[in-house]
Amino acid sequence: MGVDLTSMGFPKTNSVGNCSIEKIPAVLEETVPMDELVKIKCDQQHRRFICLHGDQQVTTTCPECRGRVVEMAKIFLKTCPGDWNSGPGDYVLNSLRDTVANERASTDGMDIASMISFRWKMTHLADHIVEKLQLAIPSNTPCLLWSKRNWQEDRRRRLGETVFDNKWDCIWRRFIDGHLMPRPSVEQGPEFIRFQQYLVAAIRDSVSSKEDSDELVNKILMLTEEAKASDQELRQGVLDKRSVFKDPFKNQQACSLR
């Protein structure tokens, strides 16, 4: 489905420009236009543009969608600091770069617009949950622009603690056991663990006791289930033949909060 991007505040241009990871802004000025872009759904059957055979380069959009998806990719590259260099982040990064620079990319079945839309919605959901439960906002930054590394370093500096300790691990495992994260379909790409990391950080910044932590975990699980039930995009698929992405900072200590 074509869309007039100039009417949404984007410059009129035929060039996609250079594609790189942008410096993460304090405030994402394109939030409102992006909110509108993710609402637009193509009426073409995108499966015909998707290849499920490994590293093969495929056309990532239909011709009418290209301008819209390129703008979505360029905006998304300004977000999610720290996500691009670990786990599946490099794969997603290269797919976004190729989408902006060319009409083809190695997507391994991922639909670029669906992936961005799914992740965009999840970051909004994380922010909504934090606001709804009146939790501390990690680093006073929305989920989309939050840096886990900066948050970790700040807590170490202020509190003299190892952030990813037994308390973090306990909350993380409670969320895993409760199936917190909406599981993406193949078209929506790899799991988006930023969502879970941000909510664990919000709990860590808000409470210290096991009882209070458990209560917040239960409330967050309930709110997430409500969101899944009301939005088909958040319950669209289950990862077939893919294991739950393990948080690299998880430790193996017994789950007892000090």
Same-domain status, 105 and 137: no
Instruction: Please count the residues of the chain.
Output: 258
Residue 251 inside a domain? The answer is no
From the number of C-beta atoms within 10 Å of its C-beta (0-12, 13-18, 19+), residue 95 rates as buried
Residue with tokens 């700040």: 154
pLDDT tens track for 115-173: 999 999 999 999 999 999 999 999 999 999 999 999 999 999 988 877 567 899 999 99
Same-domain status, 218 and 153: yes
Residue 150 inside a domain? The answer is yes
pLDDT at 3: 41
Same-domain status, 83 and 133: no
Distance separating the N- and C-terminal Cα atoms of the chain: 54
* End position of a domain, from candidates 114, 139, 171: 114
pLDDT at 98: 82
pLDDT at 245: 41
- Sequence-ordered list of residues with C-beta below 8 angstroms from that of 17, at least 6 positions apart, any chain: 74, 100
Residue 243 inside a domain? The answer is no
The CA–CA distances, whole Å, from 120 to 54, 123, 163, 190, 197 equal 25, 5, 26, 14, 15
pLDDT at 128: 97
Residue 255 inside a domain? The answer is no
Task: Give the count of domains, the chain.
Answer: 2
pLDDT at 16: 34
Same-domain status, 131 and 195: yes
Same-domain status, 106 and 133: no
Residue 250 inside a domain? The answer is no
Residue 244 inside a domain? The answer is no
From the number of C-beta atoms within 10 Å of its C-beta (0-12, 13-18, 19+), residue 197 rates as buried
With a cut of 50, list the residues of the chain below it in pLDDT.
1-21, 47-50, 238-258
pLDDT at 165: 76
Same-domain status, 152 and 103: no
* End position of a domain, from candidates 56, 88, 114: 114
pLDDT at 45: 55
* End position of a domain, from candidates 88, 114, 140: 114
Q: Write out the residue range of the structural domain in which residue 216 sits.
A: 117-235
Same-domain status, 130 and 79: no
Closest C-alpha to 49, from 57, 41, 38: 57
Same-domain status, 72 and 160: no
From the number of C-beta atoms within 10 Å of its C-beta (0-12, 13-18, 19+), residue 29 rates as exposed
Same-domain status, 126 and 109: no
Determine the Cα–Cα distance for residues 160 and 203; give it in Å rounded to an integer.
18
pLDDT tens track for 40-57: 887 765 544 445 555 555
Residue 156 inside a domain? The answer is yes
Determine the Cα–Cα distance for residues 68 and 61; give it in Å rounded to an integer.
10
Same-domain status, 134 and 167: yes
pLDDT at 175: 96
Same-domain status, 105 and 142: no
Q: What is the pTM of this model?
A: 0.79
Residue 6 inside a domain? The answer is no
Same-domain status, 104 and 35: yes
